[in-house]
Structure 1
Amino acid sequence: MVVDTNSSESSIILRVKGPLEFKCLFDKTDVPNIQKVISKTFEALCCAIKSDSCVFTLCDGPVIIWPNKDVHISQDGITPDSLCEELSQWTQTSEQENVGKKSTKKKTRKCSSDTVLNLRLMMEATGPGAPHSAQLPVFARTVQTSHFVSTILPMDCVVCVSSGETIRGACLRLVEEFSHQLNEMKRVTLLHLKGTSILVPEPLHFLLPQPHGLVTVVYPAGVPDSQLQTARQALHQKYDLPDDTPYFRRANAYHFPNEPYKDGYLRNPHLSLTHPTLDNGKVYLVQGLYSYHHYMQDRMDDNGWGCAYRSLQTICSWFQQQGYVDRSVPSHKEIQQALVNVGDKQASFVGSRQWIGSIEVQVVLNELMGVTSKIMFVSQGSELASKGRELANHFTTEGTPVMIGGGVLAHTILGVAWSETTGEIRYLILDPHYTGAEDLQLIIEKGWCGWKGPEFWDQTAYYNLCLPQRPKVI
């Protein structure tokens, strides 16, 4: 499934999630019979999705939609021919959530270009208008040997619509996408079938380069990425993608802008900044997601000695969140132990408060992440102003955060604004010396993440820059 999110026209993402019960009864356990029963069960679910019992409810709002009843809508003032953007005016605002009010009055909030409207998939248990007596259960007893399988399918469909598209048109597309997703779930379930054991198929969304946009892929839950390389290779061929970037690993799944991150770290604070304006200048930035790691996080008091550790953690988070590695961001102790394991430090280094520099960062990235790095040596800070071309090329080709160490300080470089004609340069700096809470506004206002000029560096100090390289993997 493909959703074009790259159009310049204002668009809305409609996302519908919800559970579907999947129940199978196998009278025979031979492979053809199991496959037949599973296929029929998925076909029945497809019919249910297209039936009058299918219901979409607007999350945090009073709107209920029956997409197959000529798009019947519960809320007065909304018709099937109303525009999709009107749905956002019925969602509950954060202020109302805080005071526990659930108003059914229209809100004046407008849709932005990245608006996500969340709906929930539900199924009516009984048909409307049926006489009560017709719903009385009938019991029958049958004695036989059989296998019963029951699980929940985590349905998750998205469509991207223009702000001028009608609710009727959007609902038709959503029902179609649900049918397509169920067919993909059937294919994946049959492909990974082991006897009567069924691996739950899970849908994931991936944001691909233009012109593809948002793509939904179904993977079997519990099967690690290392065993899905063939499936990922097929997807790369299908969408004509290069084989050196892991677009379809689970860690690279699209994170919807209205979903909070559970680990508490800020992501990509630099996106809140305004780029500097240089004569004939261009901006070259880190590509993808990273977490902001800084002093005093993780119940670790590293104020005054841990800046390079924190810069390294930010870099590790980038490789994790782009799907290049499966492991978590290493702690200070794990970083120190890695340096001991390779013979760079003595055993007493573990648990100490000793600094590390760019060379140690390079070693740890290779040891823990399997990531190689280039080192740029700068004999004095005044020479950094002439490194615009090298840094611009790094962010264009590799796109990874850069760790820079000099004297007793370490920082993370997330990009440069550079003019090839004048040589003028600005550096996008993420400062690991920040000791406060995860307050994005404060971090931006106080310059803990911000654009700095060449004077930011000690003009006479010696600097090493660690430039991590992307692994060439699918």
Structure 2
Amino acid sequence: MVVADPQSSDTGTVLRVRGPLELKCRLDSTDARLVHKEISSTFETLRSQVRSESCVLTVCDSPVIIWPNRGVHATPEEMTPNTPCEDVHQWIQTDEQEIGGKRSAKKKSKKSPAASIINLRLMMEATKPGPASAPILSRTVQKSHFLSATLPMDCVVRTTCNDTIKDACERLMEALTHQLHDMEKVTLQHMKGTTLLVPELLHFLLPEPAGLVTVVYPAGLPDSQLEAQRKALHQQFELPEDWPYFRRANAYHFPNEPYKDGYLRNPHLVLTHPILDNGKVYLVQGIYSYHHYMQDHMEDNGWGCAYRSLQTICSWFQQQGYTERPVPTHREIQQALVDVGDKQASFVGSRQWIGSIEVQAVLNQLLEVTSKIMFVSQGSELASKGRELANHFLTEGTPVMIGGGVLAHTILGVSWSETTGQIRYLILDPHYTGAEDLQVITDKGWCGWKGPDFWDQTAYYNLCLPQRPKTV
């Protein structure tokens, strides 16, 4: 199932429906053909439930309830099948709208970046209308195997500004039904005897025109065992096979969901690009975490800037799915340099600086990532490196660590004019010591565009340009 980019500037609303469906079936035989037939029958029952009048969608943090298969009946009564989808936003309450411990019934909220996404809960009515009948009990003595699993339904569709609630419900029901078909296929494909792997739903944001794509993987299987499936997806969406679009680490992170580790991701995205004559902007590709002084209860103010730049680079490789290894600590970085013979054992636990050459060695030792080193004899020469840096971000897309004198920074991109030679550098500064406050970080220039005078014109600089593996 595919929708357009949820962060697109186009008007419209993204609807995301989540909720569990219980898969329960009794297997009277271990014959593979009969087992598959029974499981397929159970999935068909679930699809019938989704299409039944008992299916209910509730809009999270609101009083809105929709019965999509009952003539798109909804409450409150102001909601009708012809109500525009965008009007649902006005019923969603935020924390700021809670007054005196109570939520007000209907309030307009300011549109935040996450406001274009409406979260809904998939539910099933437990009781049916009409008189209740007395239960009938029967007892059968029989040897059988009972399978039970919770299917984590998670569907996303995009609506336009002209779409009504009725339009959206039709598409959501179709998407839920299609998702159950995909889950059935994956379940049967990876079933061993009477043991099944629960399907796992992941969303991936692909280059246009594909947009947001939902993929079903078997939970528990590592990425290393899913390469054939990823290659098939690359072919299906006509994607190059040198970028891991469909690895789990690349799953799309919805903007209304905070990251559990507390680090800021991609703070540069809120910045305005500099305007140069015939200039083009070349940026880091993918997601990274901002690592800086004093994080992780580590007092590294004054000596740990290169370590933090290295951590930011490692986070990029982790979050693009190139490695499952966690971002290394200062001590693990130091131990890696000892292990490769670059430092003495006494280096571990010290407060000694490292530079670009050490960053290159650690990336190779811990992540098996190779890097190119660019040497600049004095800062004034950096202004002439526009073409090389632009080409790096265009082809590799990784953050660049630059060290000179006693300072280290991370370069996330350049704005460069081939005709005039003008250049601006997008700098992520690891010397920041404050909280994870995006506004402070961008307003105060800890993440910002800098001119050629940012560098010490007489100091020498080494740049470490990590090379990404070419793999799916």
> What TM-score comes out, normalization by structure 2 length?
0.97
Distance (whole Å) between structure 1 residues aligned to residue 299 and residue 92 of structure 2: 42
How much has 1:99 moved relative to structure 2?
Answer: 5.8
Contact kept in structure 1, 2:387 and 2:418, CA below 8 Å: yes
Distance (whole Å) between structure 2 residues aligned to residue 56 and residue 271 of structure 1: 34
Q: Which moved more, 1:49-58 or 1:435-444?
A: 435-444
Count of aligned pairs: 471
Match of 2:388 among 372, 378, 390: 390
Contact kept in structure 2, 1:398 and 1:470, CA below 8 Å: yes
Distance (whole Å) between structure 1 residues aligned to residue 99 and residue 323 of structure 2: 38
Q: Residue 195 of structure 1 aligns with which residue? A: 193
SS where residue 20 of structure 1 aligns? strand
SS where residue 71 of structure 2 aligns? coil
Contact kept in structure 2, 1:17 and 1:121, CA below 8 Å: yes
Unaligned runs of 5+ in 1: none
**Aligned structure 1 segments of 4 or more residues deviating by more than 4 angstroms:** 108-114
Contact kept in structure 2, 1:82 and 1:167, CA below 8 Å: yes
Please tell me whether residue 429 in structure 1 is matched to residue 427 in structure 2.
Answer: yes
1:33 corresponds to which letter in structure 2? L
Contact kept in structure 1, 2:114 and 2:256, CA below 8 Å: no
Contact kept in structure 2, 1:12 and 1:113, CA below 8 Å: no
Distance (whole Å) between structure 2 residues aligned to residue 114 and residue 95 of structure 1: 14
Please tell me whether residue 127 in structure 1 is matched to residue 128 in structure 2.
Answer: yes
1:452-467 maps to which residues of 2 (within 5 A)? 452-467=450-465
Structure 1 residues 154-207: Cα deviation after superposition (integer angstroms, max 9, x where no partner)? 000000111221110110000001111101000000011011111100110001
How much has 1:372 moved relative to structure 2?
Answer: 1.1
Structure 1 residues 401-420: Cα deviation after superposition (integer angstroms, max 9, x where no partner)? 10000011100001111111
Q: Residue 402 of structure 2 aligns with which residue? A: 404
2:67 corresponds to which letter in structure 1? W
Distance (whole Å) between structure 2 residues aligned to residue 107 and residue 382 of structure 1: 53
Distance (whole Å) between structure 2 residues aligned to residue 235 and residue 182 of structure 1: 19
Match of 1:217 among 200, 211, 215: 215
Unaligned runs of 5+ in 2: none
Contact kept in structure 2, 1:85 and 1:111, CA below 8 Å: no
Root-mean-square deviation (Å): 1.5
Q: Residue 35 of structure 1 aligns with which residue? A: 36
Residues 198 and 50 of structure 1, relative CA distance in 2, 3 Å threshold: same
Structure 1 residues 53-79: Cα deviation after superposition (integer angstroms, max 9, x where no partner)? 111000011100011111111112111
Q: Residue 72 of structure 1 aligns with which residue? A: 73
Contact kept in structure 2, 1:336 and 1:349, CA below 8 Å: yes
2:28 corresponds to which letter in structure 1? D
SS where residue 388 of structure 2 aligns? helix
2:106 corresponds to which letter in structure 1? K
Distance (whole Å) between structure 1 residues aligned to residue 368 and residue 316 of structure 2: 14
Q: Which moved more, 1:58-67 or 1:328-337?
A: 328-337
Structure 1 residues 278-301: Cα deviation after superposition (integer angstroms, max 9, x where no partner)? 122121111111100001101111
Distance (whole Å) between structure 2 residues aligned to residue 108 and residue 148 of structure 1: 48
Residues 462 and 187 of structure 1, relative CA distance in 2, 3 Å threshold: same
Please tell me whether residue 89 in structure 1 is matched to residue 87 in structure 2.
Answer: no
Contact kept in structure 2, 1:311 and 1:432, CA below 8 Å: yes
Please tell me whether residue 141 in structure 1 is matched to residue 145 in structure 2.
Answer: no
Contact kept in structure 1, 2:94 and 2:109, CA below 8 Å: no
Residues 368 and 152 of structure 1, relative CA distance in 2, 3 Å threshold: same
SS where residue 298 of structure 1 aligns? helix
How much has 1:375 moved relative to structure 2?
Answer: 0.7
Q: Residue 450 of structure 1 aligns with which residue? A: 448
Distance (whole Å) between structure 1 residues aligned to residue 4 and residue 267 of structure 2: 26
Contact kept in structure 2, 1:15 and 1:157, CA below 8 Å: yes
1:333 corresponds to which letter in structure 2? R
1:50 corresponds to which letter in structure 2? R
Contact kept in structure 2, 1:311 and 1:411, CA below 8 Å: yes
1:286-365 maps to which residues of 2 (within 5 A)? 286-365=284-363
Please tell me whether residue 206 in structure 1 is matched to residue 204 in structure 2.
Answer: yes
1:175-186 maps to which residues of 2 (within 5 A)? 175-186=173-184
How much has 1:98 moved relative to structure 2?
Answer: 8.1
Q: Residue 224 of structure 2 aligns with which residue? A: 226
Q: Residue 55 of structure 1 aligns with which residue? A: 56
Q: Which moved more, 1:400-409 or 1:438-447?
A: 438-447
Distance (whole Å) between structure 1 residues aligned to residue 260 and residue 23 of structure 2: 29
How much has 1:97 moved relative to structure 2?
Answer: 4.8
Residues 396 and 100 of structure 1, relative CA distance in 2, 3 Å threshold: farther
1:275 corresponds to which letter in structure 2? H
Contact kept in structure 2, 1:89 and 1:109, CA below 8 Å: no
Distance (whole Å) between structure 1 residues aligned to residue 103 and residue 369 of structure 2: 50
Residues 100 and 376 of structure 1, relative CA distance in 2, 3 Å threshold: farther
Q: Residue 258 of structure 1 aligns with which residue? A: 256
Contact kept in structure 2, 1:405 and 1:411, CA below 8 Å: yes
How much has 1:101 moved relative to structure 2?
Answer: 2.6
How much has 1:9 moved relative to structure 2?
Answer: 3.2
Contact kept in structure 1, 2:93 and 2:107, CA below 8 Å: no
> What TM-score comes out, normalization by structure 1 length?
0.97
How much has 1:30 moved relative to structure 2?
Answer: 1.4
Distance (whole Å) between structure 1 residues aligned to residue 344 and residue 35 of structure 2: 59
Distance (whole Å) between structure 1 residues aligned to residue 66 and residue 350 of structure 2: 60
SS where residue 297 of structure 2 aligns? coil
How much has 1:137 moved relative to structure 2?
Answer: 2.2
Q: Which moved more, 1:377-386 or 1:338-347?
A: 338-347
Q: Residue 25 of structure 1 aligns with which residue? A: 26
- Counting aligned pairs with the same residue, the percent is 73
Distance (whole Å) between structure 2 residues aligned to residue 247 and residue 154 of structure 1: 22
Please tell me whether residue 118 in structure 1 is matched to residue 116 in structure 2.
Answer: no
Distance (whole Å) between structure 2 residues aligned to residue 184 and residue 51 of structure 1: 20
Distance (whole Å) between structure 1 residues aligned to residue 448 and residue 459 of structure 2: 22
Structure 1 residues 388-441: Cα deviation after superposition (integer angstroms, max 9, x where no partner)? 111111111111110000011100001111111211111111000111111111
Residues 114 and 104 of structure 1, relative CA distance in 2, 3 Å threshold: closer
Distance (whole Å) between structure 1 residues aligned to residue 437 and residue 112 of structure 2: 25
Residues 259 and 108 of structure 1, relative CA distance in 2, 3 Å threshold: closer
Q: Which moved more, 1:108-117 or 1:305-314?
A: 108-117
Structure 1 residues 239-278: Cα deviation after superposition (integer angstroms, max 9, x where no partner)? 1111100000000000111111100000111112111121
Contact kept in structure 1, 2:84 and 2:161, CA below 8 Å: yes
Contact kept in structure 2, 1:13 and 1:114, CA below 8 Å: no
Contact kept in structure 2, 1:88 and 1:111, CA below 8 Å: no
Distance (whole Å) between structure 2 residues aligned to residue 309 and residue 8 of structure 1: 37
Residues 460 and 109 of structure 1, relative CA distance in 2, 3 Å threshold: closer
Q: Residue 108 of structure 2 aligns with which residue? A: 107
Distance (whole Å) between structure 2 residues aligned to residue 112 and residue 305 of structure 1: 37
